């Protein structure tokens, strides 16, 4: 059973573009869960260009499924997560100016740092996951950090799959086998979509959770736009 956690960053991006509260991020999270979403993911960035730190607090009482907060564990982020106490924190090594996440951790180089922050989150009963590229040595390094789970960074797979290259799944399947042997839970995310998710799921043994935002919101627009245009036309007729 693979859980679907819906990343709602894009809803906050849309809201912020007008400066008001439409769409309302908390209401959207409530609806995600009402429609069957099994988790809500947010990824507050230091510039708060989409999810704001305050959103993380506002969402807490309303997220009764799994609450996953992603981000680079800079002091401000660690402080936020320890106060909000989500179900899971996913550590991502983003540069401050990154447009979106673009690499996994070097779990060997940053081993000591990761051990320290993971320990602190786990002492506070927050499950940990770390964002990693599908490289076996990085999975072995992840095990050394004490993390509960890894999140496989799926951008390369999604890119290959869109070009018709299904072999791009191979390093992911091999790393999943290794993670399963090492007792690491497996999450995945980035650029997963209606096009590629089934193939990914079928080839990744023990996939516990996927977090999907960008494609899911874009697909929702396309799948909903006809209905909304018809509703406007009815009101105007
Ligand atoms: C960690 C990850 O894979 C990202 O997809 C991220 O959570 C999305 O962040 P943005 O919405 O800022 O692109
Ligand atoms: N962890 C990945 C995530 O939350 C969503 O990534 P994307 O679907 O917006 O690329």
If you measure from the C-alpha of residue 230 to the centroid of ligand 2, how many angstroms do you get, rounded to a whole number?
Answer: 31
Query: Is ligand 2 within 6 A of the CB of residue 7?
Result: yes
Q: Which CATH number fits domain 3-236: 3.20.20.70, 3.40.1280.10, 1.20.910.10, 3.40.50.2000?
A: 3.20.20.70
Q: What is the spatial distance between Cα 77 and Cα 69, in angstroms, rounded to a whole number?
A: 10
pLDDT over 90, % of the chain: 97
Query: Is ligand 2 within 6 A of the CB of residue 215?
Result: yes
Coil, helix or strand at residue 127: strand
| Catalytic-residue membership of 159 | no
Residue 187, number of CB atoms within 10 A of its CB = 26
From the annotation, which residues make up the binding site?
7, 18, 45, 50, 100, 191, 213-214
pLDDT for 97 = 85
At residue 18, does pLDDT exceed 90?
Answer: yes
How large is the average pLDDT for residues 20-31?
A: 98
How large is the average pLDDT for residues 193-207?
A: 98
Query: Using alpha carbons only, how large is the chain's radius of gyration in Å?
Result: 18
At residue 96, does pLDDT exceed 90?
Answer: no
Q: What is the spatial distance between Cα 59 and Cα 84, in angstroms, rounded to a whole number?
A: 9
The ligand 2 atom nearest the CA atom of 187: 1
Residue 46, number of CB atoms within 10 A of its CB = 14
From the annotation, which residues make up the binding site for 1-deoxy-D-xylulose 5-phosphate?
45, 50, 100
How large is the average pLDDT for residues 185-214?
A: 98
- Tell me which of 101, 132, 214 to substitute to probe ligand 1's pocket, judged by most ligand atoms within 8 Å of the beta carbon: 101
Of the pLDDT bands very low, low, confident and very high (cuts 50, 70, 90), residue 20 is very high
pLDDT for 184 = 98
Query: Is ligand 2 within 6 A of the CB of residue 209?
Result: no
How large is the average pLDDT for residues 111-124?
A: 98
Whole-model pTM: value is: 0.97
State pLDDT tens for residues 124-182: 999 999 999 999 999 999 999 999 999 999 999 999 999 999 999 999 999 999 999 99
Going by C-alpha positions, the residue among 152, 157, 150 that lies closest to residue 133 is 152
| Catalytic-residue membership of 70 | yes
- The domain locations on the chain are 3-236
How large is the average pLDDT for residues 105-130?
A: 98
Going by C-alpha positions, the residue among 148, 141, 151 that lies closest to residue 176 is 151
From the annotation, which residues make up the binding site for 3-amino-2-oxopropyl phosphate?
7, 18, 191, 213-214
Instruction: Round the average pLDDT of the chain to a whole number and report it.
Output: 97
Query: Is ligand 2 within 6 A of the CB of residue 211?
Result: yes
The answer to whether the CB of 122 falls within 8 A of the CB of 219 is no
Spot the catalytic one: 66, 70, 151, 209. 70
Phi, psi for 34 (deg, rounded to 5): -60, -35
Residue 130, number of CB atoms within 10 A of its CB = 28
């Amino acid at each position: 059973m693979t859980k679907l956690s819906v990343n709602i960053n894009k809803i906050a991006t849309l809201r912020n573009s007008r400066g008001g509260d439409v769409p309302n991020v908390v209401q959207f999270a409530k609806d995600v869960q009402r429609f069957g979403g099994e988790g809500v993911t947010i990824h507050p960035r230091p510039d708060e260009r989409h999810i704001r730190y305050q959103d993380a607090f506002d969402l807490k009482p309303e997220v009764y499924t799994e609450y996953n907060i992603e981000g680079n564990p800079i002091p401000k982020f660690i402080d936020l997560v320890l106060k909000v106490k989500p179900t899971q924190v996913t550590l991502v090594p983003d540069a401050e100016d990154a447009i979106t996440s673009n690499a996994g951790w070097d779990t060997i180089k940053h081993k000591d740092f990761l051990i320290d922050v993971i320990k602190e989150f786990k002492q506070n009963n927050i499950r940990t996951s770390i964002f990693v590229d599908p490289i076996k040595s990085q999975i072995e390094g992840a095990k050394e950090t004490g993390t509960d789970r890894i999140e496989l960074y799926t951008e390369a797979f999604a890119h290959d799959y869109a070009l018709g290259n299904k072999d791009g799944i191979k390093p992911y399947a091999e790393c999943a086998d290794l993670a399963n042997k090492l007792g690491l839970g497996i999450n995945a995310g980035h650029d997963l979509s209606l096009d590629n998710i089934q193939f990914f799921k079928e080839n990744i043994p023990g996939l516990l959770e996927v977090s999907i935002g960008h494609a899911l919101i874009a697909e929702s627009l396309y799948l909903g736009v006809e209905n909304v245009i018809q509703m406007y036309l009815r009101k105007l007729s």
